Amino acid sequence: MTSRCELCLPVADYALDATMNSGQVFAWEHTRAGWTGVVRGRWVRLTATPEGLRAETALPQRDWAWLRHFLQSDVDLASVLATFPADDEQLQSAVTACRGLRLLRQDPWECLAGFILSSTKQIVQIRQIVRGLCQRYGEPVAVPAGVSEAAAFPTAQRLATLTEADLRACRMGFRAPYLLTAARRVASGEMNLAALGNLPLDAARDELLTLPGVGEKIADCVLLFAYGFPAAFPIDVWVRRALRDCYFRGRPVRPERLREFATRHFGSHAGYAQQYLFHHIRTGRR
DNA sequence: GTCCAGGTCTTCC
DNA sequence: GGAAGACATGGA
């Protein structure tokens, strides 16, 4: 039994539903009472209000820097959007449709693991796998009275103690050995995730690419969603199709050419542009 | 039943 | 160096 704690973040222009549904995070759940998740070991429930975002935790908080950092609620969205090419109709229509969509700043390990699990999986299925991992191997966290129990995403140290069979039992198929290798490399310290954020973008990407099962797309997701490299530009099937159709007359384009184009065309916050394009295409489909 | 999913790795030409 | 095929699983 715990005492709840509430905060109202007076942030404007924050589309919580779009942000949580845009394929960045897989462990957050939407209920009638709001979005619930775990950030740095703390259970938190978020709701959008006219005044901003309302946050509720199970335990009293001395400060809320951890949550503002996760939500990136101090980012001035207008100044980010102002860097987008003004004459790009496709992108501007995505901005209009998804106004308030934000990039979160996730824990690197959780983000890396989530996207290792993402290859050729629908987002709904990635969520199922991640939820199963939390339930089986995650550390329980305190929740308010009346709220069903919750657990954090399992640490690399915890997953490193498991076997490939344990992980396959979580329905992740051929991704199991990839996740296990990543967990062991991180747990042993051989891969220092905390240090990657201090490297230049290309050096950090090269380091992530040494992990089996991590290619350019997954690496870029981690670089963008966990480290906040503003120029990281994940190119998945949706974005590839959109770039080809909108900027290359539907003709096939080499991956390297696409990356070069994206960096040049979308500007200093290409990663943000990517997220608007991705979410707009996905929510606009039949 | 068939198709395909926020890919990546291996094999083969 | 680039084009296929394999890989597990389950939603649509």
Beta strand A42-49 with A52-57 is antiparallel
Q: From CA A286, how far away is CA A275, in angstroms rounded?
A: 19
Query: Which bases in strand B are touched by protein, i.e. have an atom under 7 Å from a CB?
Result: 5-9
Alpha helices for A98-232 (secondary structure H):
108-116, 123-137, 156-160, 164-168, 176-187, 193-196, 201-208, 216-225
* A75 CB below 7 A from strand B atoms: no
Query: Residue A208: which nucleotide is closest by CA–C1'?
Result: B8
* A184 CB below 7 A from strand C atoms: no
* A165 CB below 7 A from strand C atoms: no
Q: How much is the pLDDT for A3?
A: 64
Task: Give the mean model confidence (pLDDT) for residues A231-254.
Answer: 92
Amino acid letter for position A283: T
CA of A156 to C1' of B13 (A): 41
* A248 CB below 7 A from strand B atoms: no
% of chain A exceeding 70 in pLDDT: 98
Task: Give the mean model confidence (pLDDT) for residues A210-222.
Answer: 98
% of chain A exceeding 90 in pLDDT: 94
Q: From CA A106, how far away is CA A226, in angstroms rounded?
A: 4
pTM of the model as a whole: 0.97
Q: How much is the pLDDT for A285?
A: 62
Beta strands (DSSP E) in chain A are 5-9, 29-31, 34-39, 42-49, 52-57, 140-141, 150-151
pLDDT class for A252, splitting at 50, 70, 90? confident
Supply the mean pLDDT for chain A: 96
| pLDDT tens per residue, range A30-57 | 999 999 999 999 999 999 999 999 999 9
CA of A177 to C1' of B12 (A): 25
Task: Give the mean model confidence (pLDDT) for residues A148-163.
Answer: 98
